[in-house]
Copies of this chain bind each other. A is one copy, B any other.
Amino acid sequence: MAPKVPHFVTDFFVYETAKSVVVKSWSVGVINRFVQLLIILYFICWVFLHEKGHQQRDTGIESAVITKVKGLGSFNNHVMDVADYVVPSQGSSSFSIITNMVITDNQMQGRCPETDKKFNCTTDDDCNKNNSSNIGNGILTGTCLINNVTNVTNVTNSTNSTNSTNSTNSTKSTGWCEIEGWCPAEDDSLSGTPMKEVENFTIFIKNSIRFPLFDVSRGNFPSSINQSYIQNCNFDPVHAPFCPIFKVGDILKKLNQSLDNITAYGGEIGININWKCNLDYDVENCNPKYFFTHLDSAFKHSKASKGYNFRFAKYYQSEDGTEYRTLHKAYAIRFEIIVSGNAGKFNVVPFLITLVAAFTSVGLATVFCDIILLNFHKGADEYKAKKFEEVSGIVQEAKGPCKGSQMSIKVLGKTSNDSGTFSIGRQE
């Protein structure tokens, strides 16, 4: 054709395509198109519309949360405000509202009897075992303080603090092991009335997120909301979905959590903020959804470790320089704000990949139809003869003009019936 062009060039610019057999059969044709339609529908409805296969997805959401609790309660004849009951105070994503406390006033370094029943003793020997455990309020001295011991000796100096609790303990018949440490020892069995006003407290959540891949930043309430709306609204999934103020009582109600129980023994509550954004639409539609969970729901059948409490101390110094402290065992509702989410946006690369996958999958209808055609259709042998052309291991004779096709048809009519992995019944 172009004699100057060398052979390897003409051989290279050659186009190779598969030779096809077209079967004009209503039954197989309809099945073929129907299977193809199913595959196309699957790709359109599931892969593109539901799974958003044409979008690039950013799952590395970056989040910052600031919280602010408001409300006034009363505990132990004291009015408690935010600085008293929120720990830590800086408004982080994880915070606790103290609702109940065991307060041990005026503790000083010294020696005093234990308070727990485990440390009951009759002789000093009872107080010498059990030293390795970490249960007690102080280091056991090995002495058993029996019965009428009313004078407690402090290593440093104690003035007015330790006697009050001891006088009640020392009237019992058995004694208590002596400890060295902060005295008087904490007796955590008694407890005041919990701060039930927590029900009316409100939590303001300011959550700003960023999808770094698309450089899109969003806040959990729209900029159209003004200060006065925020001061008066309460979050409601239907009527006020954009209000960032959450009433503690509403959250407890949604979780079927009894107020009495959680205020007395503490608990853990998760506030999930879920962002699922389709950035193909206006970014203003990218808004969070809120869910509330019991963080300790996995332990609900467990007998151990109910509620939530922790110990902290306030330290004081008397005029003569002696340090003393007030120990608080605080039962609290712990809130954890858990932010999750992802965003998708149209991108040429995943779109093309999914499109190619869709086209390739349409070809799978052929696999299905081949099984029917070659095994269950009445003209199966005829199709096989057409679809398969046989070459034996070493074919010597192929000279006559029509010999090749002649032979192959003849032989195939007898032996060739391979259809890969998909041939089910084999007829000879």
Which residue of B88, B96, B387 contacts A17 across the interface (Cβ within 8 Å)?
B387
Q: Are B272 and A62 in contact (CB under 8 A)?
A: yes
- The A interface is mostly helix, strand or loop, or mixed, namely mixed
Which residue of B89, B210, B369, B389 contacts A312 across the interface (Cβ within 8 Å)?
B89
Interface size, A (range): 35 or more
A103-130 CB mask vs B (1 if < 8 Å, else 0) is 0011001000000000000000000000
Inside 8 A of A15's CB, which chain B residues have their CB? 22-23, 25, 28-29, 31-32, 369, 373
A82 to B295 CA separation, bound complex (whole angstroms) = 24
Task: State which of A146-154, A188-196, A212-220 sits at the interface with chain B.
Answer: A212-220
Q: Are B22 and A302 in contact (CB under 8 A)?
A: no
Confirm or deny: A385 has a beta carbon within 8 angstroms of a beta carbon on chain B: yes
Within 8 A of B (CB), among A264-308: 268, 270, 272, 293, 295-305, 308
Inside 8 A of A23's CB, which chain B residues have their CB? 14-17, 390-391, 393
Q: Are B90 and A230 in contact (CB under 8 A)?
A: no
A57-73 CB mask vs B (1 if < 8 Å, else 0) is 00110101010101110
Task: State which of A131-139, A168-176, A251-259 sits at the interface with chain B.
Answer: A131-139
Q: Are A139 and B74 in contact (CB under 8 A)?
A: yes
Inside 8 A of A212's CB, which chain B residues have their CB? 272, 340
Confirm or deny: A41 has a beta carbon within 8 angstroms of a beta carbon on chain B: no
The quantity of this chain's copies bound in the complex is 3
Inside 8 A of A272's CB, which chain B residues have their CB? 62, 212
Q: Are A20 and B17 in contact (CB under 8 A)?
A: yes
Confirm or deny: A261 has a beta carbon within 8 angstroms of a beta carbon on chain B: no
Nearest to A132 among chain B residues (CB) is: B200
Q: How far is the CB of A224 from chain B (nearest CB, A)?
A: 8
Inside 8 A of A398's CB, which chain B residues have their CB? 382, 385, 409
Nearest to A360 among chain B residues (CB) is: B360
Within 8 A of B (CB), among A298-342: 298-305, 308, 310-319, 321, 325-327, 332, 334, 336, 338, 340
Nearest to A295 among chain B residues (CB) is: B64
A364 to B46 CA separation, bound complex (whole angstroms) = 24
Within 8 A of B (CB), among A194-253: 200-202, 204, 206, 208-210, 212, 217-219, 221-223, 225-227, 229-231
Inside 8 A of A14's CB, which chain B residues have their CB? 22-24, 29, 416, 418
Nearest to A2 among chain B residues (CB) is: B26
Q: Are B139 and A79 in contact (CB under 8 A)?
A: yes
- Selected A-B contacts with CB under 8 Å, 19 pairs: A1-B393, A15-B25, A16-B419, A17-B366, A21-B391, A22-B388, A62-B272, A81-B181, A89-B311, A89-B312, A134-B200, A134-B201, A212-B340, A219-B296, A319-B319, A379-B391, A382-B395, A398-B409, A402-B402
